[in-house]
Structures are given as structure tokens and as C-alpha cells.
Chain A
């Protein structure tokens, strides 16, 4: 009987987490269009529903109703497989993030943890799944049989492989400091200083900046959006995709933004740690859990806003500049950060 309750709770958690994430992703698209419009002195989409609130659903309906065009000379099977791979890889990482602390639920009469799956190598799992996502873009570019798509696919795979290195090395500092790969325990390690013992303040500022830059490159966003540079490559790897398949690529990009922001929040910004929440509500109570989970979401949304802000203000790199920056600046800085953190750990400072 106990195992049935356990499975039921997990199913509820999965449903809630995925619904919330997909809703936030849908509204990120709307927020992006509106914030960009305000940056550029326009109004943005504000016709569908109050203040444009129903715009994402109108877009979705349009995507479903559009004709699905398949290029004649494409490699059919891989052409269908690519959007599936990229969306699945983007969604799969959601399961390991701790959305909140262990909290008491009055209805159930027991405490639960606000994380779907908790295991020893959660951080490595995130990196592994992220590296599978590259195939979606590469294969989409190749199977379309279009020179712009192929260029976009090749550029993106080169870019993602290069920046994955600095991204992973930026995380090593955090792992050295926390002494574990389990995300929940990494968050708990940041609970000191009345909930302000975040790794971004205590000895990982360099790691945070390196992570931030390489995360933007990993998600192919401006200023690193070379794979879909409109001025040179039409739309890059998804030039030949239309209707729902295009929507899948589009969605995957925003889900990736969201998961990357969640990882940044978890590792550097204290995860669900809200300043003074523990002192006010006490550990393990229902209110503490609600406030912490809300704090987590607020931090993630601030990150998403930062992404949109960057898109509104920065121009695009040239490809060789991108590569030079990644290999000759970001990678050495990430390694330097590891050396500094290891030295601090050796002398027992952290």
C-alpha cells in the first residue's frame, strides 16, 4: 500500500512540475515579445485576452492548424526524429531539480520533498542529457538537405561542444565546495548566513559568470545565436521545419532557457533558500515550503528576464570571435576558478 501512495505522489509531482514548467515556458515567449517591444518603444502583442495574456494559446492553435511541409529531398526518418530528440532532451532534465525543501503537507499528514527524482549523480545526469540535445540540432540541419540548415547545424554543434567544456568546468568549483553531486544537498549547503550563504557570494563569483556566459551559448541565444543567425542563414537549422515540428524546436529553446536558469539558481543563487525564511517560519513547516518554492521560481524568472534583456540590447558575435572567446578566454578562466577553489578547499576556507 505504501508503495502505491509513493507512486501516486510521484505521478502528481511529475504532472504538477511539467504543467508549471510548460506554462512558464509559454508565458516566457509572451514576456519576451512584450519586453522586447517595450525595449524598442513598441507595445507588442496585446490584443488576445487582457493585455495579451491568451496570446500563447492563440499561437499554439495556429501552429497546430498550419500545413506541415516536408521537403522532398529530406531524409524522412531523421527529419521526424530531430525535433523529438531535442524536445525530449530538454524536458528530461526537469526531474532532478529541487523545487523546494522537505515540507509538511497537512492533508497527507506527512512530509514530502519537492523534487521528483533524487539521486547521487544528478549533476552529471543534467550534463549528460544536455549533451544528447546537441543531436537534435545537428540531425535537423543535416536531414533537411538545405545548405543553410547544414551550416546552422554544424555551427551549433561546434558551438555547443566548445561551450559545454567551460560550462562543466564552471560547475566543478561548486562541486568542490559542496562536496556532492546531489542537487538537493548542494542547495542545503547554501543555507548558512540566514539563507544567504549562496555560492555566488561565497567564493564562486568567477564560476557564476563563466557559467552564465556559457549557458547563454549552450541555449543558442543572443549574443551567441549563430546557429540561427537570420542575416546569414535564414533561420539556421530549422529553416525547413514548419507547423508543429517548428513549434517543438521553438519550445525546446525556451525549455532549455528555463532549465539552464534552474541550474544556475540551484548551484549559485541558493536554490530555494530565501533570506530569513527559516528564522521566521521554522524548518519543515508548510509555509516555509511554500515561501521557499516561490523564492526558487522568482529567482528563475529573474534569470529569464535577464535573457530577454540581453536579447534586446546586445548584437551578435561573428563565428570565429565566438570560438576564440570560448577557447582562449572562457576555458582558461574556468580552469583558474577551479585552481582557486581547490586552493581554498585545501586550506580549509570553504
Chain B
């Protein structure tokens, strides 16, 4: 039963991964990538790691991919046009590297299979949220805190880049974020409807937020 589920989800993951590369429409690629993440989450579940599975869906499937799809939709990226391959030597190189990778995996599979180590038949709480929480706040406290500092740096950096008012005057700024979506004549849709301009507060879009 478990093997059957593994084959199902692993096949789904590989199929979606191939689709990510092969699809010409960037949105289709993004949707396939979501499929990969969901299939991976299912594989984590099979490995008795429900916490990682849930976090995988929330962070990768939910947050990051929403951002990617959002950007693709906002920029309205065109379908990619196939061009003749210029760097022809890359194709045989890729095949060679693929063979090396498969050989490595096969070697690992062979050596693991041949080893006397078999999983012990004990109930473990390794994948559960309580044990992960205890681990994060005792044994791995320092890496955890360093990661959070890194994330805060990323947030501060993103906000600094988004608020260019230090560099550019207010009038020259291109409208961003909520202001684009609040505007009926948004650059995203290039709608030509001017009638709802009157709804904006005095001072124009620059005065909002």
C-alpha cells in the first residue's frame, strides 16, 4: 500500500517537474511547480513527517508560488518562442552529467540496500510538531536565531528597496503595490476607463498610503 502511494506521488512529482521545464507558457510552468511541491508534501507524509509536509504546503505551495504566479500575471509574460539552440556543446554535457548523477544514485541505492542496517521497529515522535519545537528551542537554538536574523534582514532590505522615497521624489515614483490595485486605470490592465478617477481622494494617487 505504502509502496503504491510512493509510486503515485513520486511519479506525480517527476511528471510535474518535467512539465515545469517543457511548458512554454510560464504560468503553466508555475502551476506544474505547485504540483511538484504538493507531491513532495505527500512524500513527506509517507515518511511520517506531517509537520514538514504542512510547512511545505504553507510556505512553498501557498506563499512563494502565489508570489511567482502573481508576478507572472502582473507582467503578463508572453509565451516563450523556441529559438535554435546556440550552445550546442551543452547537450552532450547535460547527458554526461545525467549519467553521472544516475550512477551516483544507483551506487547509493545499492550500498544502502546491501547494508545490514534495517529501520528499527520503534514508534518515534521525530516528525511531530512537539519534538520539532523542542529541538528548535534547545539543541538548534543558535541556527534558528541566525535564520530569523537573516529573514529580518531580507524583510528590511525589501522594504528599503520598495520605498525609494530616499532616492526618488514622490512625483517621479512609479505607483506600486496597493496603489496599482486601487487605481481603476491600472498599468496591469491598461484599462481606459477614466470615469472612476473622481473617487480618488484629493491629491491623486500619490497622496494615498
Contacts and interface: CB of A to CB of B under 8 A. Distances in A.
Do A and B interact with each other, yes or no? yes
A210 to B, nearest CB: 19
A161 B66 contact: yes
A303 B183 CA distance: 33
Interface string A275-293: 0000000000000000000
5 closest cross-chain pairs (CB), A and B: A131-B62, A124-B54, A128-B57, A323-B178, A319-B182
B31 interface: yes
Contacts, number: 104
Interface stretch (B99-107, B146-154, B162-170, B188-196): B188-196
A142 interface: yes
A320 B70 contact: no
Contact of A157 (B70, B182, B191): B70
Interface in B64-115: 66-67, 69-70, 73-74
Nearest to A133: B62
A68 interface: no
SS class of chain B's interface: helix, strand, loop or mixed?
Answer: helix
A128 B52 CA distance: 12
A128 B184 contact: no
| Listed residue (A124, A153, A322) with the most chain B CB atoms within 10 angstroms of its CB | A124
Interface in A109-150: 119-121, 124-125, 127-129, 131-132, 134-135, 138-139, 141-142, 147, 150
B55 interface: yes
Interface residues of A, number: 38
7 contacts: A128-B41, A131-B63, A132-B57, A132-B61, A147-B190, A150-B73, A320-B208
A156 to B, nearest CB: 10
Contacts of A120: 50-51, 128-129
B34 to A, nearest CB: 7
Nearest to B25: A75
Contacts of A134: 62, 66
A134 B73 CA distance: 14
B119 interface: no
B43 interface: no
A128 B58 contact: yes
B66 A181 contact: no
Task: Pick from B53, B66, B191 the residue with the most CB of A within 10 Å.
Answer: B66
B177 interface: yes
A350 B58 CA distance: 29
A29 B126 CA distance: 45
B20 interface: no
Given A121-B129, A134-B66, A147-B191, A320 B73 contact: no
Contacts of B50: 119-121
B186 interface: yes
A89 to B, nearest CB: 10
A3 B53 CA distance: 26
Contact of B196 (A147, A180, A232): A232
